[in-house]
Chains A and B, each alone.
Chain A
Amino acid sequence: MNSIAACDQCGHDYEPTDLLRGLCPACLFAHALPDGDSVSDAAWADGLSGVRFAPPKINDLTPHFPQLDIRELAGQGGMSAVYRAHHPHLNRTVALKVLPKEIAEIQGGAERFKREAQTLAQLSHANIVNVYDSGQAGPWCYIVMEFVQGPNLRQLLGESKLATSDVLRIVSGVCDGLQYAHDQGVVHRDVKPENVLLDCAGHVKLVDFGLAKLLNPPPSSDSVTRTHQVMGTPYYLAPEQAETPANVDHRADLYSLGVMMYEMLTGELPLGHFDLPSQRIGSDPALDAVVLQAMSKDPHRRYQQARDLQRSMTSPPTVKPMSGKAKTRPRWHGVVNELILSACSLVTALAACFVLMGLPAESRYDSPERPSTRNSEEIRAPATARANLHARFRAVGKRVGMSLPLFVISFLLSRVNVSSATQWRDLSPVQNLCVPVLVTAYVVIGFVVLIGPGLLILLFESLPLIADLGHWSAFGRTIAESDRNSIVTPYWFRVYGVAALTSASWCMLLASVLRTRPNLVRRLLHPSDDHTTAVTARTASYSVGATLLLAGLLLLYAVRLAEAP
């Protein structure tokens, strides 16, 4: 532990280190300020603005807590500071919650704090943080309690959207804790994401019973309540908490839980005329009913018990399996998406193939060595084919060059739409349907333009080697005069078939990559994207791939049947 020194120049405390030659960092840094300003009181005040109180320094606390090894400030609430500490005798990490002097001096502050300790001490439940000790140490009111290592729900919500299954799990845990507390006659009255902690095992822990109310209220509770309304966040408050604070009962917690659940599902607070979660994110409509009933303005129309909410939420029809790609979307949504997606990708693939894959045949057709007439059974000698390879490559290059604008346009379109796919849940169904179609178009066209020609040339060239494989040997090597004028001929069907097969293999490859490396798609599509896009893209790729595979096989089979003697 370094010693703290007060700077002679600016008066601030600092820890001298050799790295800074034992000098005061603020004074050194002041040289870099514009115009060489030194410490300005305005800047200092600005830096502190928004801080209601300074958490007590560890050095000030240490003398009063000889039984604890206080490590660091773990968090700071509206009324208290929480430190991570080690209890050497018990050999466990504990949380030390301390009431700052500033708050203790506010009327009712210390009283409320003590009441929280007593309230918590009554409660012993897996979903409620455990209290080990409480009391007064020197000038400090304190509570020693279980240390929960992990983020609070607010932090989780801030980083990414939660899967519906996670929401249900967390809400269920909160319900367990609340039901227990309510059974003991305790109303939390400040249920909000900040007060729901999640430990490393994913267990839910309710904390901060600082505003909790005993259902047999002590006479002083009114003043406490008034303070709370100034400091608490209003969004989670039940209407009766604002209107008739004296008559608040446990159903207020269920209202707050409903708001929290809405926020967990949609990422937004239900303000004004809000959309139902199913409208916003396509979640199960059954959950809408749960959220709405929990958020009823009239306490009598709410769930009357936390366990009722939990039960209606976890009843079989509403809860989907924990695994599975479509767990956060209703079934029809995915099916329609995939159907339209598949149809569109098939059309796209065929169109792209038609434009791009007539190429080798055309180039052969125009090459000088080409005999003036051909029939569909004629197979050129491999030597001639190789002689023409160069010309074919040139023609491929030309065609690729011609199709580049097409590719760029489809790329840009898809990229724009893929970006918007990150707000997948916020889009209308029509938009949602467009996104995967364009993504697919991008993938297929990208594949056909960039990779397809090369692969196909390879395929063409290797065909003489596998000439025995029935009609495959004729593919790409022959073109009848009639084939030039009509696209409904066996030759073109083969082209389509092979194109579809190659595209299918690509899509399957993509889907497999997305399955094994879901992070890849995040980087490809959007750096800050969440899991949803990876799943969406994977689903899309699988369905496109399957469709193309089927289409390709069917076409080739049809050609075979048609050409059978």
Chain B
Amino acid sequence: MKHPADHTPLQSPRGFRTTHWSLVVSASADSREALEELCAVYWPPLFSYVRRLGYNDAEAEDLTQAFFTRLLDKRLLALADRDRGRFRTFLLTALRRFVVNEWKHQTAEKRGGATRHFTLSTPGAEQLVAADVTTNLTPDRLFERNWALVVLQRALDELESEQRTAGKGESYRALVPYLIGDADVPGYDAVAKQLGSTSAALRMLVVRNRKRLGELIRCEIRKTVGSDADVDEEVGQLFRSLQS
């Protein structure tokens, strides 16, 4: 697996699959588990998209669940045009089609009680989408934004668990507020005192954490795009979605 030359090779984090989603999809033998994992991670943006379309919570959850069940059961993913395109775009397109079809079924009173095999469960993800009712974005933009938030959440969780594994959990937690921004935030001295370290060392640590966070985000995004070349574009797009 090649990485863009201008970035240091990404160290594959523990438990992360760094293959592109297309590869996950094409490896048919044990792909279902990997796919389920990927879908389980990215359901909240889809859920909130459906809700934003005007469905209430229960309906939206049903629809999202049914959508993923359909996706996984019927191997729609295996049929996806995987040479190009992003997982995100693919999911949204498929979801739109699914919702309209469901609506048609509903109006034709054909909707049956399909058995559900897919459980929407990502701890804490509810919080993420719970906030969306207060925003004033269109469904598409909201979907993008929530997607970005999920990516970010995954990367932050991974960073924290890496730090904890490395025995630096305490200092990491103390330095979390410094993760944002590039500018030096004053106040290292107090934290240094508390941690029994020097402010220079902490500054170093913060810079490294920020860099690692960026890598982890890119790593997460790599899984959802068709090729390495798409990573930059996807990062840019998701970033812009967070700014609105």
Contact = CB atoms under 8 A, between A and B. Distances in A.
B23 interface: no
B156 A21 contact: yes
Interface stretch (B27-35, B101-109, B162-170): B101-109
B79 interface: yes
A48 B6 CA distance: 29
B193 interface: no
Most chain-A CB neighbours within 10 Å: which of B80, B124, B136, B244?
Answer: B136
Given A26-B242, A30-B239, A523-B79, A9 B183 contact: yes
A1 B128 CA distance: 12
Interface in B220-244: 221, 232, 235-236, 238-244
A151 B100 contact: yes
A28 B213 contact: yes
A15 B241 contact: no
Contacts of B211: 31
A27 interface: yes
A20 B149 contact: yes
Contacts of B177: 21, 23
Interface in A34-80: 34-36, 38-39, 43-44, 46-48, 54-59, 71-76
Contact of B221 (A25, A32, A150): A32
A58 B240 contact: no
Contact of A31 (B106, B210, B232): B210
A469 to B, nearest CB: 43
Contacts of B75: 523
A375 interface: no
A9 B211 CA distance: 17
B236 to A, nearest CB: 6
A39 B182 CA distance: 11
Contact of B181 (A9, A12, A44, A56): A9
A59 B210 CA distance: 33
A74 B54 CA distance: 7
Given A20-B149, A20-B152, A44-B243, A32 B127 contact: no
B75 to A, nearest CB: 7
A58 B243 contact: no
Given A20-B149, A32-B221, A84-B54, A1 B134 contact: yes
Interface in B77-116: 79-80, 96-97, 100-101, 103, 106-107
A527 B131 contact: no
B239 A28 contact: no
A519 B103 contact: no
A31 B243 contact: no
Interface string A217-252: 000000000000000000000000000000000000
Interface stretch (A154-162, A290-298, A433-441, A457-465): A154-162
B214 interface: yes
Contacts of B137: 73
Contact of B149 (A25, A47, A56, A71): A25
Most chain-A CB neighbours within 10 Å: which of B107, B153, B242?
Answer: B242
Nearest to A11: B243
Interface string A1-32: 11010010110101101111101111111111
A200 B136 contact: no
A90 interface: no
A24 B240 contact: no
B176 interface: yes
B54 A43 contact: no
A31 B149 contact: no
Contact of B243 (A26, A57, A202): A26
A244 to B, nearest CB: 36
Contacts of A14: 242
B74 interface: yes
A25 B134 contact: no
Given A17-B128, A36-B182, A160-B100, A28 B244 contact: no
Given A17-B128, A29-B148, A34-B6, A43 B179 contact: no
Interface of B: 6, 51-52, 54-55, 74-76, 79-80, 96-97, 100-101, 103, 106-107, 124-125, 127-128, 130-138, 148-149, 151-153, 155-156, 176-177, 179-183, 210-211, 213-215, 217-218, 221, 232, 235-236, 238-244
9 contacts: A18-B124, A19-B125, A25-B242, A28-B213, A31-B211, A31-B213, A32-B239, A48-B244, A72-B51
Given A2-B130, A28-B156, A74-B54, 7 more contacts: A20-B156, A25-B148, A32-B239, A34-B235, A73-B138, A151-B103, A198-B107
